């Protein structure tokens, strides 16, 4: 599926026109946005001919799993970014690969059916006053939408880490295992963010510092705002990875401390039980002792067992071993 839109002099003029009219619209002093959903190589051959896009860029556009990057060709740029859809029900990070050809008068976006371009369209409508900057205006809307989604995801992960920290001191083996599972999932999501989203910062920096000469001073503040958000995302990802590692380490330490406490209690009770066992064993030996065969001997054995057990209990209790 393909959608087309055109602007002239900052005003929207037409949409959903055939791809073979792109060059005619551009010749009439217009800028064009062509949006492809799951195109094949054959689908892109027409837009390649209309805009003079490099064949290598077209090959990359139909291959999935491209790294986030900005490649420069003679008459165009090839941009790869990842739109983040947040964390799924299973805790996995949902990402969507978005590719774009950027020429002097056209932006061609390529993505899967699961990508929603409404956020980009909303930005174009809300910021129509800067439409006169042309294609950089279209590229900014794409980057700003992607960065806002990534920012929302980072904030969601931060809230989930806060919840993990609140749950740290809840007792129970099931709770500890759940914390470990949630921590590993969040750390994996942060790793995906660092690998797929953070490199977009370099692409935006390249655009700002002269890789695309068409970015005029009037729209540069918008790109700097996007770059600032990406720097903040990068810093937050590193800090949150450290926070998740701290949660994992703290959880393991608490588990170890609880195990040590249990061992102390078991050892203390074993010591208390061992003393009466030793006393009754001593009185049960085949030797003569005071009170042998009389109630006084039984009373002496029981008394010694009870008193020694109480003394041990009080002593362990004072040391917080019980």
- DSSP string covering 89-138, please? TTSPEEEEEEEEEE-SSEEEEEE-TT---HHHHHHHHHTGGGGGG-HHHH
pTM of the complete model:
0.76
Whether the per-residue pLDDT at 265 is higher than 70: the answer is yes
Task: Supply 44's token pair.
Answer: 């892109």
| pLDDT (tens digit per residue) in 82-91 | 999 888 877 7
Confidence of residue 296 (pLDDT cuts 50, 70, 90): low
* Mean pLDDT value of segment 106-112: 90
What is the residue-wise DSSP string for 45-76?
HHHHHHHT--HHHHHHHTSS-PPSEEEE-SS-
pLDDT at position 145 is: 93
Whether the per-residue pLDDT at 315 is higher than 80: the answer is no
Under DSSP, the state recorded for 17 is -
User: How many percent of the chain have pLDDT more than 70?
Assistant: 84
More confident residue, 252 or 106: 106
Confidence of residue 166 (pLDDT cuts 50, 70, 90): confident
| pLDDT (tens digit per residue) in 147-164 | 999 999 999 989 988 888
CATH code, 2-255 = 3.30.460.20
| pLDDT (tens digit per residue) in 208-234 | 876 555 566 678 888 899 999 999 999
Residue 98 to residues 95, 109, 262, Cα–Cα distance (Å): 10, 7, 54
Confidence of residue 13 (pLDDT cuts 50, 70, 90): confident
pLDDT at position 141 is: 93
Whether the CB-CB separation of 38 and 49 falls below 8 Å is answered with: no
The domain ranges of the chain are 2-255, 259-318
Confidence of residue 11 (pLDDT cuts 50, 70, 90): confident
pLDDT at position 82 is: 93
Whether the per-residue pLDDT at 173 is higher than 60: the answer is no
pLDDT at position 171 is: 61
pLDDT at position 270 is: 77
Taking alpha carbons only, the member of 81, 244, 87 closest to residue 152 is: 87
* Helix (H) / strand (E) containing 168: none
* Mean pLDDT value of segment 19-45: 83
Whether the per-residue pLDDT at 303 is higher than 70: the answer is yes
Whether the CB-CB separation of 171 and 150 falls below 8 Å is answered with: no
pLDDT at position 149 is: 93
More confident residue, 312 or 105: 105
Taking alpha carbons only, the member of 59, 191, 150 closest to residue 142 is: 150
Confidence of residue 129 (pLDDT cuts 50, 70, 90): confident
Three-state DSSP at 162 gives helix
Where do runs of H (alpha helix) occur along the chain? 22-27, 41-51, 55-61, 118-126, 135-167, 173-196, 200-206, 220-283, 295-318
Among 138-142, 174-178, 210-214, where is mean pLDDT lowest?
A: 210-214
* Mean pLDDT value of segment 283-300: 62
More confident residue, 317 or 4: 4
Task: Supply 25's token pair.
Answer: 């619209």
Strand order across the 30-37 sheet: 11-15, 2-8, 30-37, 106-111, 93-102, 77-87, 69-72
pLDDT at position 97 is: 92
Rounded Cα distance between 96 and 255, Å, is 38
CB atoms within 10 A of CB 269: 15
35 Cα distance to chain centroid = 28
Three-state DSSP at 175 gives helix
């Amino acid at each position: 599926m393909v959608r087309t839109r055109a602007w002239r002099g900052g005003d929207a003029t037409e949409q959903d026109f055939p791809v073979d009219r792109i060059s005619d619209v551009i010749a009439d002093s217009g800028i064009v946005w062509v949006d492809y959903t799951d195109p094949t190589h054959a689908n892109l051959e027409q837009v390649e001919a209309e805009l003079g896009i490099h064949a290598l860029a077209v090959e990359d556009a139909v291959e999935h799993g491209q790294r986030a990057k900005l490649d420069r060709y003679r008459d165009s740029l090839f941009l790869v970014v990842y739109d983040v859809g947040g964390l799924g029900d299973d805790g996995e990070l949902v990402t969507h690969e978005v590719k774009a050809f950027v020429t002097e008068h056209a932006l061609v976006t390529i993505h899967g059916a699961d990508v929603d371009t409404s956020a980009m369209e909303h930005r174009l409508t809300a910021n129509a006053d800067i439409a006169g900057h042309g294609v950089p205006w279209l590229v900014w809307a794409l980057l700003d939408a992607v960065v806002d989604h990534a920012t929302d995801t980072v904030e969601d992960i931060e809230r989930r880490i806060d919840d993990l920290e609140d749950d740290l001191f809840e007792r129970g083996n099931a709770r500890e295992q759940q914390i470990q599972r949630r921590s590993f999932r969040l750390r994996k999501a942060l790793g995906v963010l660092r690998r797929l989203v953070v490199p977009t910062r370099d692409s935006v920096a390249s655009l700002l510092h002269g890789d695309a000469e068409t970015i005029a001073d009037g729209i540069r503040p918008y790109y700097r705002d996007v770059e600032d958000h990406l720097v903040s995302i990068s810093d937050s990802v590193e800090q949150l990875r450290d926070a998740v590692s701290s949660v994992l380490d703290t959880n393991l330490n608490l588990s170890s401390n609880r195990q040590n406490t249990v061992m102390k209690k078991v050892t203390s009770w074993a010591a208390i039980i061992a003393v009466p066992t030793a006393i009754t064993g001593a009185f049960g030996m085949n030797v003569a002792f005071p009170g042998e065969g009389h109630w006084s001997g039984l009373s002496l054995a029981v008394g010694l067992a009870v008193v020694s057990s109480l003394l041990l209990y009080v002593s362990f209790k004072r040391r917080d071993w019980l």
